[in-house]
Amino acid sequence: MSILVTGSSGYIGRHVVAELLRRGHLVIANDVTLDAYYVGVSRVTQTQENIFSGAPDIFDRLGRPNVLIHLAWEAGFVHNSPVHMQKLSAHYRFLTDMATGGLTDMAVMGSMHEVGFFEGAVTAETPCNPLSLYGVSKNTLRQAIQIEVIRQNFRLYWLRGYYIYGDDMRGSSIFAKISQAAAEGKKTFPFTTGKNKYDFIHIDELAQQIVAAATQTRLPDTSPITGVINVCSGKPVSLAEQVETFIRENGYDIALEYGAFPDRPYDSKEIWGDGGLIREILAKSE
């Protein structure tokens, strides 16, 4: 299959492209800058086409892919940056123009921050009440594109992500910050209470789940699962336990300074994704 990946040079994007190549797909890698990592790589075509240009023929300009995996998003780790709302209409225009052009399968990266404060396992039916600009913009985009699905009749895979670790020197998560602090020789790291429980997933496992969900139609005798799909581990682990394990496994000589920062008021005390749908998809994809 021909797969367009936006944000292909980003933290998640590189791993998704690698997984697509492992599975034998052709990749159209789109980002604002060309990535030397892909130069000379068979089955990868790089493009700097501006996906937010408003060009009505954007689907043709991007090679008429079988599937779009839309990962591009600015300032994803700065939850209350104004850019989330400022770029919302551009994301909507790009996705709707791709569908109008002829795209049949659209996978878009969502976030558990769409849900807001919630305790327990998040399913596709869990009500959303986002409490950050990042969550509001992702949730609004999802609602708008779901309306377009009815109007334009394409398949939408809304991939709701959780907490990612792995390849940490390239990321912006707490794991990346600890790795950077350890590399600088720091002995302590300011931390929250660490009591909140979240759904943690390694970047390589996340990439496998994203690709499996986005390419379901390569299996002609199965009915694809569409709509909201949690890409997750499906189990809650305390932040303290996950970070302490991370420090130990990497051999870092650094200690957490518990209570240095307050817990964010919009973070749930215990939240994780219900992984039933993604497990079903993975079982079919093997």
13-26 pLDDT per residue, tens:
999 999 999 999 99
- Quick one: average pLDDT of 118-136? 97
Cα separation, 6 vs 108, whole angstroms: 10
What local confidence, expressed as pLDDT, does residue 266 receive? Answer: 78
| Residue tagged 């399913």 (tokens) | 123
**Helix or strand or coil: residue 106?**
strand
Cα separation, 178 vs 249, whole angstroms: 13
Residue 35 near residue 29 (C-beta atoms within 8 A): yes
158-202 pLDDT per residue, tens:
999 999 999 877 778 899 999 999 999 999 999 999 999 999 999
Tokens of 9: 């040079």
Q: Which CATH superfamily is domain 2-165+201-234+272-285 in?
A: NAD(P)-binding Rossmann-like Domain (3.40.50.720)
Active-site pick, 37, 38, 92, 134: 134
Tokens of 57: 């023929």
Cα separation, 153 vs 155, whole angstroms: 7
What local confidence, expressed as pLDDT, does residue 286 receive? Answer: 75
What local confidence, expressed as pLDDT, does residue 86 receive? Answer: 98
1-60 pLDDT per residue, tens:
999 999 999 999 999 999 999 999 999 999 999 999 898 898 999 999 999 999 999 999
* Domain boundaries of the chain, sorted by first residue: 2-165+201-234+272-285, 168-196+236-257
DSSP 50: -
What local confidence, expressed as pLDDT, does residue 128 receive? Answer: 98
Residue 134 annotated as catalytic: yes
Residue 111 near residue 160 (C-beta atoms within 8 A): yes
| Residue tagged 């334009």 (tokens) | 152
